[in-house]
A and B are shown apart, each in its own frame.
Chain A
Amino acid sequence: MIIKNIHIDGFGIYHDFSLPTHLEKGINILYGENEAGKSTLLQFLRYTLFGYPSARKSPKMDPLAGGKHGGRIVAETLSGDQVIFERHAATKQGQIQLHYNNKVYNDENMWFRLLGNANEKLFNNIYAFTLDELIDYGSLNDSGMQDRLFSIGMGLNTASIQEIENSIRNSMDQIYVERGRTKKVNELLEQIKTKQSHLTKLKDNKPLFNEISKEVVILEGQSEILETKINDTHLNLSKTTNLLKCYPHFVALQQIDNNLSILPAYEELPGQWKEDLTTAEERLRRYRENKNRLTVKTNHSRGKQESINPDFQILESKPKITEMRDNLKLYQEQIRNYQDLQTRHKLIGDEIEKLTKQLGTNVSVSEIDETNSEAIRAKITAFINQHKVIEDRNSASRVKLDAAYDKISFLNIKWISITAGLILLLGAAALYYYNFQIGAALIASAGVIMILTGPFMKSDKRLNILQQQVVQTEDELQKLDVQISSFIKNTFKTNLDFEPLTALKMTGAIDQIQEQVRQKKVLINQMEGLKKNIDSYEQNVDQLITKIDKEIPDNVKEVLVHTLLDLLQQEENHKLKKEDLQNQINEQIIDLENFGSQISSTEKEVANILARANVKTRDEFIKRYEQNKNVEGLLDEKKANTMAIEIIFGPGKSNAVASELKATDKLKLEAQSFNLDAGLQELKNEQKELLDRLGGIKKERDSLMNTSELARLATEIETLKENLKLARQDWLTNRIALDLLHSVKNKYEKEKQPEVIGKAKKHFSKITGGKYPDLRVPFGQQGVTITDRHEKRKALHTLSRGTKEQLLLSLRLGFIESYEKEAEPLPVVMDEVLVNFDEKRARKLSEILNDFGQNRQILIFTCHRHTADLFENNKLNLINL
Chain B
Amino acid sequence: MPKIKFVHTADLHLDTPFKGLTRVDDRLADKLKDATFKAFENIVDTCLTEHVDFLIIAGDTFDSDESSLKAQFFFTGQLGRLHETGIPVYMICGNHDPLPSWSPFIKLPDNTTRFDDKSVSSVTYTKNGIALAEIYGISFGKKEIKENLSLRYNKNSTKIPFSIALLHGTSGKSDKHASYAPFTSRDLADKGFDYWALGHIHKWEILQKAGPAIAYPGNPQGRDFGETGFRGGLIVELETEKPPTIMFFNTSDLILDYLTINIEGIEDQESLLSKINGEIEKISNAYSNRSMILRLILSGRTAMHTMLKDLAMQAEMVDIANEQLTDTDPFCRIDRLQVQTMPIADINKLANANDFTGDLLRTIETYQQHPEMQNEMIDNALAGFKPSQMGRYLNNLTKEEKMKILEQAKWILINELNKD
Residues of A whose CB lies within 8 Å of any CB of B are: 51, 54-55, 57, 92-93, 108-109, 112, 116-119, 121-122, 154-156, 158-159, 164, 167-168, 176, 178, 185-186, 189, 192-193, 202-203, 205-206, 209-210, 213-214, 216-217, 701-702, 704-719, 721-726, 728-737, 739-741, 743-745, 747-748, 819, 822-823
Q: Which residues of A contact B288 (CB under 8 A)?
A: none
Q: B397-420 interface mask toward A, CB cutoff 8 Å, 1 = contact, 0 = none?
A: 100010011101110110011111
A43 to B345 Cα, complex, angstroms: 20
Chain B, residues 329-346, CB within 8 Å of chain A (1/0): the string is 000000000000000111
Q: Is the pair B21, A186 in contact by a Cβ cutoff of 8 Å?
A: no
Is the C-beta of B381 less than 8 angstroms from some C-beta in chain A?
Answer: yes
- Shortest C-beta distance, A219 to chain B (Å), equals 13
B353 adjacent to A748 (CB under 8 Å):
no
- B240 neighbours in A (Cβ, 8 Å): none
Which of B23, B103, B363, B401 lies in contact with A744, CB distance below 8 A? B363
Apart from A116-B354, A176-B385, A740-B367, 7 more pairs, CB < 8 Å: A154-B356, A202-B67, A717-B17, A719-B18, A732-B382, A737-B410, A747-B363
A711-B17, A717-B17, A741-B360 known; A203-B385 Cβ under 8 A: no
Is B381 a contact partner of A732 (Cβ separation < 8 A)?
A: yes
Distance (whole angstroms) from the CB of A200 to the closest CB of chain B: 10
CA distance A819 to B267 in the complex (A): 33
A54 touches B303 (CB 8 A): yes
Q: How far is the CA of A235 from the CA of B303 in the complex (A)?
A: 92
Given A711-B32, A728-B394, A819-B355; A705-B69 close (CB under 8 Å): yes
Q: What are 20 sample pairs from A and B whose C-beta atoms fall under 8 A apart?
A: A118-B353, A154-B355, A213-B103, A216-B105, A705-B72, A707-B70, A708-B69, A709-B33, A712-B33, A714-B17, A715-B17, A715-B19, A716-B24, A717-B17, A718-B19, A722-B22, A728-B385, A729-B401, A744-B356, A822-B354
Residues from chain A with Cβ under 8 Å of B104 in the complex: 213
**Is there an interface contact between B363 and A93, defined as CB atoms closer than 8 Å?**
no
Residue of A57, A122, A158, A708 ringed by the most chain B CB atoms within 10 A: A708
Q: Does B358 sit at the interface, judged by CB under 8 A? A: yes
Chain B nearest CB from A836 CB (Å) reads 25
**A108:B346 contact, CB within 8 angstroms:** yes
Chain B residues closer than 8 Å to A193, beta-carbon distance: 389
Is the CB–CB distance between A723 and B22 below 8 Å? yes
User: In the complex, which residues of chain B have a beta carbon less than 8 angstroms from the beta carbon of A702?
Assistant: 73
Say whether B352 faces chain A, with CB atoms less than 8 Å apart: yes
Task: With A108-B345, A711-B33 as known contacts, state yes or no: A203 contacts B17, CB within 8 Å.
Answer: no
A868 to chain B, nearest CB (A): 33
Q: Which of B29, B357, B401, B413 contacts A716 (CB 8 A)?
A: B29
A718 and B17 within 8 A (CB): yes
Q: Which of B223-246 contact A (CB under 8 A)?
A: none
CB contacts (< 8 Å) of B384 on chain A: these are 178, 735
When the two chains form their complex, are residues A186 and B412 in contact, meaning their CB atoms are under 8 A apart?
no
Chain A nearest Cβ from B394, distance in angstroms = 6
The answer to whether B69 touches A736, judged by C-beta atoms less than 8 angstroms apart, is no
| Bound: A112/B259 CA distance, A | 36
Whether the Cβ atoms of B70 and A710 lie closer than 8 Å is yes
CB neighbours of B420 from chain A (8 A): 57, 158
Q: Is the interface of A mostly helix, strand, loop or mixed?
A: helix
A92 contacts B385, C-beta separation under 8 Å: no
Q: B316 on the interface (CB 8 Å rule)? A: no
Q: How far is the CA of A164 from the CA of B413 in the complex (A)?
A: 8
Look across to chain B and name the residue whose beta carbon is closest to the beta carbon of A180.
B387
- For residue B98, give the distance in angstroms from its CB to the closest CB of chain A: 15
In the complex, whether B144 has a CB less than 8 A from a CB of chain A is no
Given known pairs A158-B420, A731-B385, the reply for A748 and B356 (CB within 8 Å) is: yes
Do A736 and B405 contact each other (CB < 8 Å), given the known contacts A119-B350, A178-B384, A715-B21? Answer: yes
Which residues of chain A are within 8 angstroms of B84 by Cβ–Cβ distance? none
Across the interface, name the chain B residue whose C-beta is closest to A208: B69
- Taking CB atoms, residues of chain B closer than 8 Å to A185 are 387, 390
Q: In the assembly, what is the distance between CA of A741 and CA of B125, in Å?
A: 72
B354 and A819 form a contact (CB under 8 A) = yes
Query: Which 8 pairs between the two chains have the least Cβ-Cβ distance?
Result: A714-B17, A213-B105, A708-B70, A712-B33, A705-B73, A715-B17, A737-B409, A736-B409
Partner of A739, one of B303, B377, B387: B377
Q: How many whole Å from A760's CB to the nearest CB in chain B?
A: 16
Whether A748 pairs with B359 at a CB distance below 8 angstroms is: yes
A333 CB to nearest B CB, Å: 119
Residues of chain A within 8 A of B394, CB atoms compared: 721, 724-725, 728
Closest residue on chain A to residue B30 by CB atoms: A712
Q: Is the CB of A708 within 8 A of B15?
A: yes
Residues of B within 8 A of A203 (CB): 66-67
Q: Which residues of B contact A724 (CB under 8 A)?
A: 390, 393-394
CB-CB under 8 A for A159 and B417, given A122-B353, A729-B401: yes
CB neighbours of A93 from chain B (8 A): 303, 344-345
B156: interface (CB < 8 Å):
no
Asked if A736 and B359 make an inter-chain contact with CB atoms under 8 angstroms apart, the answer reads: no
Whether A189 contacts B352 by the Cβ 8 Å rule is no
The closest CB in chain A to the CB of B406 belongs to A736
> Contacts A718-B21, A736-B378, A740-B363 hold; do A112 and B15 have CB atoms under 8 A apart?
no
- Picked from B32, B68, B390, B413, the residue with its CB within 8 Å of the CB of A708 is B68
Task: Find B385's partner among A709, A732, A739 (CB 8 Å cutoff).
Answer: A732
B67 pairs with A740, CB closer than 8 A: no
Whole-angstrom distance between the Cβ of B358 and the nearest chain A Cβ: 7
Contact A743 B354 (CB under 8 A): no
In the complex, what residues of B have CB within 8 A of residue A116's CB?
354
CB of B176 closer than 8 Å to a CB of A: no
B312 to chain A, nearest CB (A): 8
Contact of B106 with A by CB under 8 A = yes
User: What is the minimal beta-carbon distance from A21 to any residue of chain B, in angstroms?
Assistant: 33
**How distant is B341 from chain A, measured CB to nearest CB, in Å?**
15
Complex CA–CA separation, A206 to B73 (angstroms): 13
Pick the residue among B21, B29, B71, B357 that contacts A722 (CB under 8 A).
Answer: B21
Name the residue on A nearest B367 (C-beta). A740
Q: Please determine whether B349 and A112 come into contact, CB atoms closer than 8 angstroms.
A: yes
Q: Inside 8 A of A718's CB, which chain B residues have their CB?
A: 17-21
A777 to B164, CA, bound (A): 83
Whether a CB of chain A sits under 8 angstroms from the CB of B261 is: no
B281 at the interface (CB under 8 A from A): no
Interchain CA distance A54-B418 in the complex, whole Å: 13
Quick check: A710 and B363 within 8 Å, CB to CB?
Answer: no
A159-B418 contact in complex given A711-B68, A728-B385, A732-B378, C-beta closer than 8 Å: yes
Given known contacts A159-B418, A729-B405, A112 and B356 CB-to-CB distance under 8 angstroms: no
- Nearest chain A CB to B97 CB, angstrom units: 14
CB-CB contacts of B365-402 with A at 8 A, as 1s and 0s? 00100000000011011101111111001110100010
**Contact in complex: A164, B29 (CB < 8 Å):** no
| Closest partner residue, chain A, to B36 (CB atom) | A711
**B356: nearest chain-A partner, CB-CB:** A154
Please give, as numbers and ranges, the residues of chain A lying within 8 Å of B346 by CB-CB distance. 108-109
Q: Which residues of A contact B52 (CB under 8 A)?
A: none
- Separation of A706 and B106 alpha carbons in the complex (Å): 12
Question: Are B416 and A164 in touch, CB under 8 angstroms?
Answer: yes
* Chain B residues in 8 Å Cβ range of A723: 22
Interface pair B344/A206, CB less than 8 Å apart: no
Task: Report yes or no: B68 in contact with A92, Cβ–Cβ below 8 A.
Answer: no
Find chain A residues with CB under 8 A from B50 CB: none
Complexed CA–CA distance, A298 and B393 (Å): 131
Whether B106 contacts A705 by the Cβ 8 Å rule is yes
Bound Cα distance A171, B32 (Å): 32
Report chain B residues within 8 Å CB of A122.
353, 355
Is the C-beta of B187 less than 8 angstroms from some C-beta in chain A?
A: no
Interface string of B38-74 (1 = CB under 8 A from A): 0000000000000000000000000000111111110
Q: Are B103 and A156 in contact, with the CB atoms below 8 A?
A: no
Give CA–CA (A740, B377) in the complex, Å: 9
The docked-state distance in angstroms from the alpha carbon of A522 to that of B322 is 145
Given A57-B420, A192-B393, A708-B15, A92 and B303 touching (CB < 8 A)?
Answer: yes
- Whether, in the assembled complex, B327 has its beta carbon less than 8 Å from a beta carbon of chain A, the answer is no
